[in-house]
């Protein structure tokens, strides 16, 4: 079943100069059609300004289409009056960990979403507890978010989404401001959620390594979808990726370079082990 259905989505915004007169219309999303299967882990890649973040914001109706339709769990974002009833299905984690934590105590922040949904107090307690346990932050329940590391803050933000019991979580570059340890923490957590709870994950990132374990990788450029496939399929197209300012994991690039030199390696090698194995077979 498809949890997200996007049909011929177009998003435009107008730019104004100092005198408030319209200068140009920018098309951030240009005719995108896409469906996401429930329970899948999808990574969206693309350089800054490729429209990937704008696309994600359409899924939970933070932005509304200029043209086309976006359906989340069968609900049309343009035809829904109270958008919050739709947003509870798709939590969103943002880039800056500090700017998405609302309360001064961890547990109260996690409760913020379900509080808005009107979940009764008796059940709130339980939801907060479970969500914190899910991300491994139970010990920090009564702490102030200010004293947590970046990775821990992002896990709190994820717990805040889980407490709303969403079907899908959108992650808008959640690791861009973290150090490698924090990045690992966050990516591991979302993979667990995907596998164990069956929550659909839409991960937007710059880091190719984070795309390797996804079920599906989508590459955007200039507001369009330019590639869509398994990580193996997408990362076989090294030249094309480079043409739109993307990199591939180092081992993939090495295999690609060797292939160019005449070594008969398979396409789209993603891991060190795979590479060593393939090279040994050639030897």
Partner 1 sequence: MIRDITIGQYYDADSVIHRLDPRVKLAFTLIYIVSLFVGHGPICYAYAAAFLAVVIVLSKVPVKFMVKGLRGMLMILIISALFNVFLVQGEVIFRWWIFTISKEGVRTAILMVVRLIFLVIGSSVMTLTTTPNDLTDGMERSLRFLKVIRVPVHEIAMMMSIALRFIPILIEEVNKIMKAQIARGADFESGGLIKKAKAMIPLLIPLFVSAFRRASDLALAMEARCYHGGDGRTKLHPLKYQAADYAAYAALLLYLGGMITMAVLLP
Partner 2 sequence: MELTLKNVSFSYNPDAKEPKYAVKDVSFTIRDGEFCALIGHTGSGKSTLVQFLNGLMEPTSGEVLFNGENIFGKKYPLKTLRQKVGLVFQYPEHQLFEETILKDICFGPKNMGLPKEEQLTRARHAMELVGLPESYEEKSPFELSGGEKRRVAIAGVLAMSPECLILDEPTAGLDPAGRDDILGTVRELSDQEGIAVVLVSHSMEDVAVYAERLLVMNSGTLVYDDTPRNVFRHYKELEEIGLSAPQITYVAHALKEKGFDIDDSVMTIAEAKAEILRIFRERNS
Which residues here bind partner 1, judged by CB under 8 A? 60, 62, 82-84, 87-88, 91-92, 94, 96, 98-105, 107-108, 111-121, 124-125, 128, 145-147, 160-161, 164
Six-digit token string for 125: 């307690």
Query: Torsion-angle region of residue 16: left (phi > 0), alpha (psi -120 to 50) or beta?
Result: beta
Min dist CB 12 to partner 1, Å, is 19
CB of 102 to partner 1, least distance (A): 6
Helices of type H across 96-149 = 106-116, 121-134
Q: What are phi and psi of 19, to 5 degrees?
A: -90, 20
179 binds, among partner 1, partner 2, none (CB under 5 to 8 A by kind): partner 2
- For residue 107 the two structure tokens come to 């547990």
Nearer to partner 2, 73 or 279 (CB): 279
In angstroms, the CA 262 to CA 170 distance is: 41
Q: Where are the alpha helices (DSSP H) in 60-179?
A: 83-87, 106-116, 121-134, 150-162
C-beta separation of 32 from 225 below 8 A: yes
Q: Least distance to partner 2 from the beta carbon of 220, Å?
A: 12
Q: Dihedrals φ, ψ of 15, to 5°?
A: -105, 145
The first and second tokens of residue 124, run together, are 């709130």
Q: How far is CA 214 from CA 44, 66, 174, 191, 263, in A?
A: 10, 30, 16, 9, 28
Q: Considering the complex, state which of residue 19 and residue 146 has its C-beta at the smaller distance from partner 1.
A: 146
Q: Residue 51 CB, nearest distance to partner 2 (Å)?
A: 13
Residue whose CB is less far from partner 2, 34 or 269 = 269
Closest to partner 2 by CB, 139 vs 280, is 280
User: Which CB atom, from 127 or from 155, has the smaller least distance to partner 2?
Assistant: 155
Nearer Cβ to partner 2 (88/183): 183
Between 121-134 and 150-162, two packed helices, what is the crossing angle to 10 degrees?
140
DSSP state of 76: E
Shortest CB 246 distance to partner 2, Å = 6
The residue count for the chain = 283
R_g over Cα of the chain: 20
The residues of the shown chain that bind partner 2, judged by CB under 8 A, are 47-49, 95, 149-150, 176-177, 179-182, 206, 208, 245-247, 249-251, 253-254, 257-258, 261, 263, 272-273, 275-277, 279-280, 282-283
Decide which of partner 1, partner 2, none touches 180; Cβ closer than 5 to 8 Å per partner kind: partner 2
* Smallest distance from partner 2 to CB 151, Å: 9
Using CB distances below 5 to 8 A depending on partner kind, what does residue 73 bind out of partner 1, partner 2, none?
A: none
Q: Closest approach of Cβ 117 to partner 2, in Å?
A: 32
112 binds, among partner 2, partner 1, none (CB under 5 to 8 A by kind): partner 1
Give, in order, the Cα–Cα distances in Å from 144 to each of 133, 164, 171, 183.
Answer: 17, 21, 23, 21
Of partner 2, partner 1, none, which one does residue 125 interact with (CB within 5 to 8 Å by kind)?
partner 1
- Contact partner, 243, from partner 2, partner 1, none, Cβ < 5-8 Å per class: none
Instruction: Report residue 232: phi and psi, to 5°.
Output: -60, -50
């Amino acid at each position: 079943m498809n949890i997200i259905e996007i049909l011929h989505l177009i998003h435009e915004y107008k730019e104004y100069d100092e005198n408030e007169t319209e200068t140009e219309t920018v098309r951030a999303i240009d005719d995108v059609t896409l469906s996401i299967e429930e329970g899948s882990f999808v990574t969206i890649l693309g350089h800054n300004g490729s429209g990937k973040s704008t696309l994600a914001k359409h899924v939970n109706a933070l932005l509304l289409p200029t043209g086309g339709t976006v359906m989340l769990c069968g609900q049309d974002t343009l035809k829904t009056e109270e958008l919050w009833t739709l947003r509870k299905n798709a939590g969103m984690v943002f880039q800056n960990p500090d700017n998405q934590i609302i309360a001064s105590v961890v547990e109260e922040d996690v409760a913020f979403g379900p509080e808005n949904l009107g979940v009764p107090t008796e059940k709130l307690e339980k939801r907060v507890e479970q969500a914190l346990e899910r991300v491994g932050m139970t010990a920090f329940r009564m702490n102030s978010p200010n004293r947590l590391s970046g990775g821990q803050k992002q896990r709190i933000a994820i717990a805040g989404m889980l407490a709303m019991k969403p079907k899908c979580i959108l992650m808008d570059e959640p690791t861009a401001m973290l150090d490698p340890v924090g990045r690992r923490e966050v990516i591991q957590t979302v993979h667990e959620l995907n596998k164990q709870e069956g929550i659909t994950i839409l991960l937007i990132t710059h880091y190719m390594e984070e795309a390797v374990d996804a079920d599906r990788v989508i590459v955007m450029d200039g507001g369009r979808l330019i590639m869509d496939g398994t990580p193996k399929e997408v990362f076989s197209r090294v030249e094309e990726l480079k043409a739109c300012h993307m990199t591939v994991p180092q081992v993939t690039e090495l295999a690609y370079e060797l292939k160019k030199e005449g070594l008969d390696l398979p396409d789209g090698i993603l891991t060190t082990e795979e590479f060593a194995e393939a090279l040994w077979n050639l030897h």
